[in-house]
Amino acid sequence: MEVNIHEAKTHLSRLLEKVSAGEEVIIAKAGKPVAKLVPIKQAPKKRVWGTAKGDFVVPDDFNDPLPKEIEDLFYK
């Protein structure tokens, strides 16, 4: 969506609602684009090590080679 500077100043709150919903807004002066309002990408939350402790157990044979019949499935 494109708006002129006067409309952007008058309806900034409404435009920011549209931007926060994912829409981009171009602000133009005399019909020429001069700025773009875009949503800020939220940084992913930091992961905390150890939060799944006790949820699963890694089997002792985890790093052992696969049985031949299963390994053969990868080479067909």
Torsion of CA 21, 27, 31, 34, to 10 degrees: -130
Residue 66 lies in a domain: no
> What is the domain count for the chain?
1
Residue 27 lies in a domain: yes
What pLDDT is recorded for position 14? 94
Residue 24 lies in a domain: yes
**Residue 42 pLDDT greater than 80, yes or no:** no
Sheet holding 32-37, edge to edge: 2-4, 25-29, 32-37
Confidence of residue 72 (pLDDT cuts 50, 70, 90): very high
On the 0-12 / 13-18 / 19+ scale of CB atoms within 10 A, 25 is buried
Whether the pTM exceeds 0.95: the reply is no
Residue 12 lies in a domain: yes
Mean pLDDT of 60-65: 94
Q: β-pairing, 2-4 with 25-29?
A: parallel
Residue 55 lies in a domain: no
Residue 45 lies in a domain: no
